[in-house]
Amino acid sequence: MAIVKMNKFTLLSFESQKEKLIESIQSFSQVEFINLQDENFLEKNQEFESLEREKSDSNLAKCEENLSKAKSALDFIETYLPKKSGLQSLKNQKESLTLKALENKVKSSSWENSYKIIKEKEDKLLALETKKSSIKEEIDVLTPWKDFDASFKEVENLKKVSVFLGTVPKQYEEVILGLENEFKLTNVEVISSNNQEIYIFSISHEDEKDVFLEKLKECGFSAFNSNYEKMPKVILEDFQKEILSLDNNISNIREELKNLTTEENELKMAYEYYGNLKERLTVTKNFLKTKKTVVMQGWIPVDKNEKFNDVIKSAINDDFYLTFEEAKEEEYDKVPVKLKNGKIAKVFESITNMYSVPKYGDIDPTPVMMPFYLLFFGMMIADVGYGLVMLIASLIAIKFLENNQKSTDFAKFFAYLSIPSILFGFVYGAFFNDAIPLPVFISTTKDVTTILIMSIGFGVFQIFVGLGIKAYMMIKKGDILGAFYDVGAWYMILIGLGVMLGGGMIGLPSITKTIATIVVIIAAIIIILTGGRAEKSVGAKLGQGAYSLYNITGYIGDLVSYTRLMAIGLAGGSIAGALNLLIGMLPGGIIGIIVGAVAFIAAHTFNLALSLLSAYVHTARLQYVEYFSKFYDGGGKEFAPFKTLNKYVNLID
């Protein structure tokens, strides 16, 4: 239950050495700066009011421009570079460099030329794609006219007649075709049609053209205007040839992009360098200064104090002033929290962080949550086969993600969860449900009541542990009576009710039930009298106390929630059994065996994924709602040190 002890440091140095100092602190990656320019901070710390505010470095704009260039080029080229497949994509092949080595590498590289090369190809590709899209639009326009067997130029040059090319809504098709009977010197031909329109070509003598045009307009005629001179069929053929040529050019550029791995690597180095430089240039917004000095404050783990002093000394010799002071109780809400746990509990910190990190000076619930998370998760999966799949997959992931701490911890998380899943699988005799027969200690079909009692029993135990932790925290703060009122009385009620309700089932004498009843009544009175002790008036105290006693319904709801341990475990096993039954009905022979094997893998993979999701979510819910509510508030601020960015490079001290 360790929360790393923090010190607040104050650091003064010369303005001329600020850049070198900030770079060394960034490499150190163990310091979170306090924003000294915050108005609320300055109001409470008047000794800083006379200092000037440090402004962003003038080089920031150029840095952001270079960062934007590198990012845009990488975003573009990564679409075309060959994708790494399978296990190879899991491997972390980042190069390890110091900040100074990265800077030297970028400044000696030709990354800007690489950017230009990629940008030129991007522009060419965009132009070709735009032209291709434009031609396709023209093809869509001309395709309905492909059977028109005259060139547009010839039609335009006709004399003594007027030509009408265009479209009319489909609903007027019969009307248009009937116009030939109405106009003796006019010809109407339907070139093509679709569900919405008909495409017509009409020739009308000068004597009839005006009246004929009016008829066309009444039918919603829309003229087709074209700047092309050739026949539509010829134009379409030319377009197809042009598209083929464009596709070849596009394909060639894409092939060229696939080979720009050296340029990609240079851009990655540049992106990493300018990304970290931007962090250093913007962090100065937290500082104050005089004409020649700069003032910084921040938080640092106590065990890093000496190392921090050495890092600064190594960077700027003795030209600095550094002090450390313990966090004051009134600062606890602002002190960032860093958790420190053992090898196994550490990977469960993500569960705690998802809820909320504890406040500084509070308790870290991770170690007392971890055993229950393991237990409940295992009970929900409860299958040897599924557990082994989880374990093997996790171990493979750990091996190939060894340089990626976050991903490795996630893989370890499921590796640890696989152990109780296997153990409960042996208890239930489940190996992909009944695919391989195992000895059954508790049957999921015959001993449902036993599993239900076991689920609620685990819930009772966890609730009692949660209340016990609450009592421990109150006693630690010197509130022994409060611990008795808020925890001891509830122990009395819950145990007493348990004896009253379950005494008959296990054959306890009636005197025991009578004593339990008296204990419950006494505890209820204690809660009514003390549950509102923080209130001022007697009425308010009793009212709040009565409301506190009403929380007994919450405990009942909590216990009901633990039945999900049984429900989800049985549901997953039942689905697995049904899948095995269906697969077993497949016909025999080689084909049946192959199909059955594929179906078995696919079906159980789906069921495992569904079971893992359910177990992950519902186990977390039991911790957050039923367990943490008894003793844990959270509300802390997670430690966010000023550190190096490591997207493409492992930056080291």
**Res. 494: pLDDT tops 60:** yes
Cβ density class 256-291: b for 16+ within 10 Å, e for less: ebeebeebbebbbbbbbbbbbbbbbbebbebbbbee
**Res. 503: pLDDT tops 90:** no
Residues 388/345, Cβ–Cβ less than 8 Å: no
The residue with greater pLDDT, 653 or 195, is 195
Pair type for strands 2-3 and 339-340: antiparallel
3-state secondary structure of 203: strand
Residues 43/296, Cβ–Cβ less than 8 Å: no
Write out the H or E segment, with its range, that includes residue 348.
Answer: none
- Per-residue pLDDT at 176: 82
| Token output for 399 | 């091996």
Q: Please state the rounded mean pLDDT for residues 344-365.
A: 92
Entry pTM: 0.80
**Res. 433: pLDDT tops 80:** yes
- Per-residue pLDDT at 96: 83
Instruction: Name residue, tokens 């002093």.
Output: 309
**Res. 66: pLDDT tops 80:** yes
Torsion angle (degrees, nearest 10) of CA 444, 450, 453, 459 = -50
Q: Quickly state the pLDDT bin for 412 (edges 50, 70, 90).
A: very high
Residue 134 CA to its chain's centroid (Å):
39
Least confident of 175-189, 332-346, 563-577: 175-189
Residues 274/70, Cβ–Cβ less than 8 Å: yes
Q: Please state the rounded mean pLDDT for residues 631-646.
A: 91
- Per-residue pLDDT at 536: 82
* Three-state DSSP string of 559-623: HHHCCHHHHHHHHHHHHHHHHHHHHHCCCCHHHHHHHHHHHHHHHHHHHHHHHHHHHHHHHHHHH
Max mean pLDDT range (35-44, 112-121, 391-400, 498-507): 112-121
- Count the Cβ atoms, other than its own, within 10 Å of residue 485: 20
- Per-residue pLDDT at 90: 52
Q: Quickly state the pLDDT bin for 584 (edges 50, 70, 90).
A: confident
- Per-residue pLDDT at 542: 86
**Res. 87: pLDDT tops 60:** no
Q: Quickly state the pLDDT bin for 547 (edges 50, 70, 90).
A: confident
DSSP 141-198: HHGGGTT--S-HHHHHT--SEEEEEEEEEGGGHHHHHHHHHH-TTEEEEEEEE-SSEE
List phi, psi (to 5°) of 324: -125, 145
**Res. 38: pLDDT tops 60:** yes
- Per-residue pLDDT at 177: 81
The residue with greater pLDDT, 652 or 242, is 242
The residue with greater pLDDT, 104 or 159, is 104
**Res. 148: pLDDT tops 70:** yes
3-state secondary structure of 7: strand
Give the C-alpha separation, 317 to 114, whole Å.
39
Residues 532/543, Cβ–Cβ less than 8 Å: yes
What residues are paired with 166 via a beta bridge? Answer: 200, 223
In tens, the pLDDT along 208-259 reads: 888 888 888 888 888 888 778 888 899 999 999 999 999 999 999 999 999 9
Instruction: Name residue, tokens 């010190």.
Output: 7
3-state secondary structure of 294: strand
Give the C-alpha separation, 330 to 353, whole Å.
23
Give the C-alpha separation, 568 to 583, whole Å.
23
Pair type for strands 161-169 and 222-223: antiparallel
* Three-state DSSP string of 62-97: HHHHHHHHHHHHHHHHCCCCCCCCHHHHHCCCCEEE
In tens, the pLDDT along 314-342 reads: 999 999 999 999 998 888 989 999 999 98
In tens, the pLDDT along 589-625 reads: 788 788 888 888 999 999 999 999 999 999 999 999 9
3-state secondary structure of 323: strand
| CA distances, 529 to each of 51, 239, 610 (Å) | 55, 90, 48
**Res. 83: pLDDT tops 80:** no
List phi, psi (to 5°) of 245: -65, -40
- Per-residue pLDDT at 515: 85
DSSP letter, residue 632: -
Q: Please state the rounded mean pLDDT for residues 528-554.
A: 84
Across the chain, what does the average pLDDT equal?
88
Give the C-alpha separation, 87 to 399, whole Å.
10
Q: Please state the rounded mean pLDDT for residues 578-589.
A: 81
Pair type for strands 336-337 and 637-638: parallel
In terms of phi and psi (left: phi > 0; alpha: psi -120 to 50; beta: otherwise), the region of 86 is left
- Per-residue pLDDT at 91: 58
Q: Please state the rounded mean pLDDT for residues 499-509.
A: 68
Residues 335/327, Cβ–Cβ less than 8 Å: yes
- Per-residue pLDDT at 62: 92
Q: Please state the rounded mean pLDDT for residues 641-649.
A: 90
Pair type for strands 197-205 and 186-193: antiparallel
